[in-house]
Amino acid sequence: MTWLIGLYPPAWRRRYGRELAELIATRPASFSTAIDLVAGAIDAWFNPQSSTATAADAKGAREMIPKMLQLKCAGYGPDVTAADSRKAAAVTIGGTLVLTLVLLSAMVRYGSNPYLESFLAMSWLLPVLFGQRYTTLKGRPGRVQAVLIAGPAAIVIAIALATAWINALARG
Amino acid sequence: MARRDDVADLEEFGRFAEPALLILVSLADGAKHGYAITEDIASYAGVRFGPGSLYGAIARLESRGLIEALEAEDRRNPYQLTAAGEKALRARLASMQAVAKVGQRRLASA
């Protein structure tokens, strides 16, 4: 699970990365730890602390947030070509089809249950997020893309799990 | 309750206020590294913070000069309270104690 440290800003990783890796290694991998690390990484990008910033880093961080938020009204970055739009559409449609087929196959094989139903209902959201690599997030640094895709993806998965859990409880 | 402006206010830490307070309490009896802080908090408060929450709070405390890192020992960086950190902790505990006293007095007379 130490790979999630890669989601943190470089200056943050230089200052706390080794310590954080040691702490992660002392506990079993779990979904809640993963969510905690993703939330910590998002916080570290949006709230850079002076303990992790050199002068250059601080300047970069100040510029990073306006750059990350520089989304145009149409939802696209400045250099999105027709080919990019086709790639995004292919990822969205293809990903949705693949996920739907996998989940339907699992339902046929193992029977329907609240968890499969919940993920099936949200199966289009994850491909939409990944498709943003070619549109909204195009040209942004890889780590920024990773945070802005993995963060919302983790939230979507958490919502799907919570919804399924509530459904399972309701069904007894 | 009046707040002293020369004392750092942990409330500005937002969701990291609780881990920050528990870290300060943990360091009140001496320097500790991340793992030891986690274990200490788990033993005295019954709470085990995730690594992201713990280091989010540590980064804030260090940035505001309330704790400081000592030289690494065995590849781990211990942290210790600074004078400002001790002052902030004393102020926070006094404030909590005052609230607790009021609460207990009101419950007793209810």
Kindly state whether B77 is in contact with chain A, defined as any CB-CB distance less than 8 angstroms: yes
Kindly state whether B46 is in contact with chain A, defined as any CB-CB distance less than 8 angstroms: no
Give residue for tokens 């970069």: A60
CA A150 from chain center: how many Å? Answer: 1
Which residue ranges in chain A fall short of pLDDT 70? 52-78
User: Residue B101: pLDDT above 70?
Assistant: yes
Supply the pLDDT for residue B37: 96
Supply the pLDDT for residue B83: 95
Of B33, B52, B63, the CB nearest to A50: B63
Tally C-beta pairs within 8 A across A and B. Answer: 64
Supply the pLDDT for residue A76: 46
**Which residues neighbour B35 within 8 Å (Cβ) at sequence distance 6 or greater?**
A22, A23, A26, B76
Supply the pLDDT for residue A80: 76
Best to test chain A binding among B32, B40, B48, B55 (most A CBs inside 10 Å): B55
B53 with A22: Cβ contact below 8 A: no
CB B41 within 8 A of CB B26: yes
Within 8 A of B33 by CB-CB distance, chain A residues are 19
Kindly state whether B60 is in contact with chain A, defined as any CB-CB distance less than 8 angstroms: yes
Supply the pLDDT for residue B55: 95
Supply the pLDDT for residue B94: 94
Within 8 A of A58 by CB-CB distance, chain B residues are none
Residue B79's beta-bridge partner residues?
B32, B69
Length of chain B: 110
**Which residues neighbour A49 within 8 Å (Cβ) at sequence distance 6 or greater?**
B59, B60, B62, B63
User: Residue B106: pLDDT above 80?
Assistant: yes
A39 with B63: Cβ contact below 8 A: no
Q: How many helices and strands, by DSSP H and E, does chain A display? A: 8, 0
| Banded pLDDT at B97 (limits 50, 70, 90) | very high
Closest CA to A20 of B50, B85, B28: B50
DSSP result, B17-63: HHHHHHHHHHHTTS-B-HHHHHHHHHHHHS----HHHHHHHHHHHHH
Within 8 A of A51 by CB-CB distance, chain B residues are 59, 62-63
Residues B40, B42, B46, CA angle at the centre, nearest 5°? 135
A22 with B58: Cβ contact below 8 A: no
Supply the pLDDT for residue A28: 86
B1 by Cβ neighbours in 10 Å (0-12 / 13-18 / 19+) ranks as exposed
Closest CA to A18 of B34, B27, B57: B34
Q: Stretch B20-41: mean pLDDT, rounded?
A: 95
* ipTM score of complex: 0.84
| Kind and range of the H or E run holding B79 | strand B79-81
Kindly state whether B87 is in contact with chain A, defined as any CB-CB distance less than 8 angstroms: no
